[in-house]
């Protein structure tokens, strides 16, 4: 009796101590996986402690399924703080819905959903379910983390296989598995936890890379077709086989391609003409059915329907170039921000996007067939990636081009005039490349006037400025720069103090970084930041310059900054430039990086010019 009471008290104390710091905690996460007769079966079980109202979002459970993955045996119940079961999930409380996204035309992914809640904290929700995969090309991408903001106290992953079934696995922040062999079977067991939740930080590498995980894949698999992860070349051959038979185009399409390129000798110009046609006549839309996440719809489908996802559009345009006699390659990358490096030591499907690689004599083109942007412009979305070129018996990694400082340059000129009411009229003329070019181009091409104006006022206009008018100039089709102008008024420039006027700076927009003592993660800058400003201030009538100018220059391993003053007849010019190099910097280097950014910030915030009344 005493021992049972002691255990009960310890459980209560454990719950109280956990609840002091977190809205919820995963007390136990177990997953048992078995492979038998070509079927993959996963049994998952969760115990989640809910400590308060904010933790209740973790009682909303969604379980994905599809035509290749069924879900059954869903069970769930709630235990109160004394360990008593107070509520069980009823079958009728489980709902199903399509997981189709806003950009999907058809998608065979679905979810089963339910929610269980109690009216007294803390309480524990326990739920379990079984998945059966009839075809698969990975076994699990497992992590003990169900939400980065809450801890996991204990997690166990168990894999049981026939003794002749070969797998490959990769551990990150998880110990190597325990292994045991029984009669004709072998078992792996990984144990993990996540005691201290990691918070994402500004300018850090991909967040997933800091979380514990285990990825397991079969060396040989059947996923529509037989394939292998033994080497990247083997995986490339499987992907190449998926493309087989998807290249044919209708006769009228072939005639039109040949007509458009007739008499043109330069291959690059042929590609440009055909790429413009692709952009004009097709649109991006996702179609995902069974292997649709990996296998493109046929080129003939896109020729007829005029839409497709990145796979279908890339395969279609590859087929178009085949007709034009130009060799190109279907190529896999992981796109987006921050850049995610491929683990080349571990062959596995690590990609989320498809582009086209076209090696020409003396030039190499990279085309995103979903883009409405410039020809041969990888952009911030695709730049500096590990790219797996799919080529029969010769699939290989190459790198997409990394952006240079010239590719991302933002050049602005401000004309600042003094008004009789002591306000200032500011006229901006800016020319932008890189990320800002992409943003402004999207605003110009896809936003209506009202939404565009609202976005500019709320997100681009300097703080304290009231915009009077703006102009956003549509660039030439394949230009990689865009011009933007505005006129605004503000009382933030000419600051009167008795017989003096302080001219305030229009500062660079700098990242707000954690102090070094609080920083836990390294820094990753995917492409350079390069900005130059020229500010031309009118000197009001009756005033002269009353301060010495302090030019400033900073040169470090992380980048450069310069500030110069030029006094002219009736005006003062301030010329500034800032360059932050792309690169990765460790936590040990962070204090110096932070110091570089703070030095720029301090210079920007103290750039005051004093004018004295005559």
Whether 562 and 519 map to the same domain: the answer is yes
Is the pLDDT at 462 greater than 70, yes or no? yes
Whether 328 and 281 map to the same domain: the answer is yes
| Token pair of 402 as six digits | 């990394």
Taking the C-alpha atoms of residue 610 and residue 550, their distance in angstroms, rounded to an integer, is 12
Taking the C-alpha atoms of residue 79 and residue 47, their distance in angstroms, rounded to an integer, is 10
Whether 432 and 454 map to the same domain: the answer is yes
Whether 170 and 281 map to the same domain: the answer is no
CA-to-CA dists, residue 122 to 79, 80, 82, angstroms:
9, 7, 10
Q: Which of 399, 419, 439 is the last residue of a domain?
A: 399
Domain CATH for 524:
2.60.120.1130
The answer to whether residue 68 sits within a structural domain is: yes
Is the pLDDT at 233 greater than 90, yes or no? yes
Provide the pLDDT for residue 295.
Answer: 87
CA-to-CA dists, residue 6 to 1, 2, 11, 314, 559, angstroms:
9, 6, 9, 65, 61
State the Rg of the chain over Cα: 30
Whether 67 and 121 map to the same domain: the answer is yes
Whether 437 and 564 map to the same domain: the answer is yes
**Average pLDDT of the residues in 346-352:** 94
**Average pLDDT of the residues in 435-441:** 97
The answer to whether residue 35 sits within a structural domain is: yes
Provide the pLDDT for residue 288.
Answer: 52
How does pLDDT run across 122-131, given as a tens digit for each residue? 999 999 999 9
pLDDT band per the 50, 70, 90 thresholds, residue 547: confident
Provide the pLDDT for residue 1.
Answer: 38
Taking the C-alpha atoms of residue 143 and residue 140, their distance in angstroms, rounded to an integer, is 9
Provide the pLDDT for residue 418.
Answer: 96
Quick one: 13 exposed, middle or buried, by C-beta within 10 A (0-12, 13-18, 19+)? exposed
Provide the pLDDT for residue 293.
Answer: 67
Provide the pLDDT for residue 546.
Answer: 85
Provide the pLDDT for residue 13.
Answer: 41
Whether 321 and 429 map to the same domain: the answer is no
Q: What is the maximal distance between C-alpha atoms in the chain? A: 99
Provide the pLDDT for residue 2.
Answer: 34
The answer to whether residue 223 sits within a structural domain is: no
Q: For residue 213, which of 251, 272, 156, 170 has the smallest C-alpha distance?
A: 170
The answer to whether residue 389 sits within a structural domain is: yes
- The DSSP line for 106-125 is EE-EEEEEEE---SSSSEEE
Compute the mean pLDDT over every residue in the chain, rounded to the nearest whole number: 92
Whether 347 and 443 map to the same domain: the answer is no
**Average pLDDT of the residues in 473-502:** 94
Provide the pLDDT for residue 80.
Answer: 95
Provide the pLDDT for residue 67.
Answer: 81
The answer to whether residue 25 sits within a structural domain is: yes
How does pLDDT run across 154-163, given as a tens digit for each residue? 999 999 999 9
Taking the C-alpha atoms of residue 73 and residue 131, their distance in angstroms, rounded to an integer, is 9
The answer to whether residue 290 sits within a structural domain is: yes
Is the pLDDT at 25 greater than 90, yes or no? yes
**Average pLDDT of the residues in 553-577:** 96
Whether 418 and 512 map to the same domain: the answer is yes
**Average pLDDT of the residues in 219-238:** 95
Share of the chain above pLDDT 90, in %: 86
Taking the C-alpha atoms of residue 334 and residue 310, their distance in angstroms, rounded to an integer, is 12
CA-CA-CA-CA dihedral for 252, 257, 260, 262, to nearest 10 = -110
pLDDT band per the 50, 70, 90 thresholds, residue 9: very low
Whether 313 and 374 map to the same domain: the answer is yes
Q: Let me know: does 590 contact 597? Beta carbons within 8 Å.
A: no
Q: Which of 373, 399, 425 is the last residue of a domain?
A: 399
Whether 584 and 516 map to the same domain: the answer is yes
Peptide bond into 138 cis (omega under 30): no
Taking the C-alpha atoms of residue 275 and residue 376, their distance in angstroms, rounded to an integer, is 9
How does pLDDT run across 175-220, given as a tens digit for each residue? 999 999 988 899 999 999 999 999 999 999 999 999 999 999 999 9
Is the pLDDT at 104 greater than 60, yes or no? no
Provide the pLDDT for residue 294.
Answer: 83
Domain CATH for 56:
2.60.40.3140
CA-CA-CA-CA dihedral for 315, 317, 323, 327, to nearest 10 = -80
Provide the pLDDT for residue 287.
Answer: 61
Among 289-293, 357-361, 389-393, the least confident range: 289-293
Domain CATH for 240:
3.10.620.30
Query: Between these two residues, 44 and 38, which has the higher pLDDT value?
Result: 44
The answer to whether residue 541 sits within a structural domain is: yes
Provide the pLDDT for residue 224.
Answer: 87
Boundaries of domain holding 195 = 2-218
**Strand, coil or helix: 357:** strand
Domains of the chain: total? 3
Provide the pLDDT for residue 100.
Answer: 61
Provide the pLDDT for residue 460.
Answer: 95
pLDDT band per the 50, 70, 90 thresholds, residue 6: very low
Q: Which of 352, 376, 399 is the last residue of a domain?
A: 399
Whether 389 and 422 map to the same domain: the answer is no
Beta-strand pair 482-490/424-432: antiparallel
Peptide bond into 122 cis (omega under 30): yes
**Average pLDDT of the residues in 389-398:** 97
Share of the chain above pLDDT 70, in %: 94
Is the pLDDT at 3 greater than 50, yes or no? no
Provide the pLDDT for residue 127.
Answer: 98
Is the pLDDT at 7 greater than 60, yes or no? no
Provide the pLDDT for residue 290.
Answer: 43
Provide the pLDDT for residue 474.
Answer: 83
pLDDT band per the 50, 70, 90 thresholds, residue 238: very high
- HSE of 582, CA atoms in CB hemisphere, 13 A: 15
**Average pLDDT of the residues in 566-574:** 93
pLDDT band per the 50, 70, 90 thresholds, residue 608: confident
pLDDT band per the 50, 70, 90 thresholds, residue 496: very high
């Amino acid at each position: 009796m005493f021992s049972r009471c002691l255990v009960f008290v310890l459980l209560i104390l454990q719950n109280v101590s956990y609840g002091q710091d977190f809205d919820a905690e995963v007390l136990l996460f177990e997953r048992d996986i078995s492979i038998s007769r070509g079927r993959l079966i996963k049994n998952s079980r969760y115990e989640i402690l809910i400590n308060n109202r904010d933790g209740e979002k973790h009682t909303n459970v969604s379980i994905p399924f599809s035509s290749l993955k069924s879900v059954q045996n869903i069970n769930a119940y709630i235990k109160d703080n004394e360990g008593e079961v107070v509520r069980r999930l009823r079958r009728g409380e489980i709902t199903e819905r399509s997981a189709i996204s806003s950009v999907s035309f058809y998608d065979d992914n679905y979810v089963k959903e339910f929610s269980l809640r109690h009216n007294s904290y803390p309480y524990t929700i326990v739920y379990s379910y079984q998945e059966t995969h009839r075809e698969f090309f990975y076994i699990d991408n497992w992590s003990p983390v169900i939400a980065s903001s809450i801890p996991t106290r204990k997690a166990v992953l168990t894999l049981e296989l026939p003794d002749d079934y070969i797998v490959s696995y990769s551990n990150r922040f998880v110990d190597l598995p325990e292994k045991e062999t029984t009669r004709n079977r072998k078992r792996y067991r990984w144990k993990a936890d996540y005691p201290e939740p990691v918070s994402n930080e500004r300018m850090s590498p991909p967040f997933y890379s800091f979380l514990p995980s285990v990825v397991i894949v079969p060396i040989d698999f059947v996923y529509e077709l037989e394939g292998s992860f033994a080497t990247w070349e083997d995986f490339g051959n499987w992907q190449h086989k998926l493309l087989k038979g998807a290249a044919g185009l209708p006769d009228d399409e072939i005639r039109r391609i040949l007509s458009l390129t007739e008499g043109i000798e330069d291959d690059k110009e042929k590609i440009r003409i055909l790429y413009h046609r692709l952009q004009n006549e097709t649109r991006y839309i996702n179609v995902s059915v069974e292997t649709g996440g990996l296998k493109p719809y046929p080129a003939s489908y896109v020729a007829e329907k005029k839409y497709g996802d990145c796979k279908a559009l890339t395969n279609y345009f590859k087929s178009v170039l085949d007709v034009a006699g130009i060799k190109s390659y279907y190529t896999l990358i992981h796109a987006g921000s921050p850049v995610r490096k491929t683990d080349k030591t571990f062959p596995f499907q690590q990609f989320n996007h498809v582009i086209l690689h076209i090696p020409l004599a003396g030039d190499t083109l990279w085309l995103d067939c979903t883009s409405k942007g410039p020809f041969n412009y990888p952009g911030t979305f695709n730049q500096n990636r590990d790219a797996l070129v799919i080529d029969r018996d010769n699939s290989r990694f190459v790198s997409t081009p990394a952006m240079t400082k010239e590719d991302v340059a933002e050049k602005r000129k401000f004309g600042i005039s003094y008004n009789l009411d002591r306000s200032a009229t500011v006229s901006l003329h800016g020319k932008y490349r890189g990320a800002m070019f992409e943003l402004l181009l999207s605003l110009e091409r896809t936003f209506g006037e009202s939404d565009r104006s609202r976005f500019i006022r709320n997100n681009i206009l300097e703080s304290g400025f009231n915009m009077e008018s703006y102009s956003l100039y549509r660039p030439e089709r394949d230009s990689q720069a865009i011009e933007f102008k505005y006129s605004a008024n503000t009382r933030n420039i000419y600051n009167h103090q008795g017989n003096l006027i302080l001219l305030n700076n229009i500062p660079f927009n700098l990242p707000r970084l954690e102090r070094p003592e609080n920083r836990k993660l390294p820094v990753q800058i995917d492409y350079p930041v390069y900005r130059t400003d020229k500010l031309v201030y009118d000197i009001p009538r009756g005033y002269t310059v009353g301060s010495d100018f302090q030019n400033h220059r900073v040169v470090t391993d992380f980048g450069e900054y310069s500030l110069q003053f030029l006094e002219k007849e009736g005006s003062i010019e301030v010329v500034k430039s800032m360059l932050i190099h792309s690169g990765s910097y460790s936590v040990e280097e962070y204090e110096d990086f932070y110091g570089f950014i703070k030095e720029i910030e301090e210079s920007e915030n103290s750039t005051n010019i004093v004018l004295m009344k005559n």
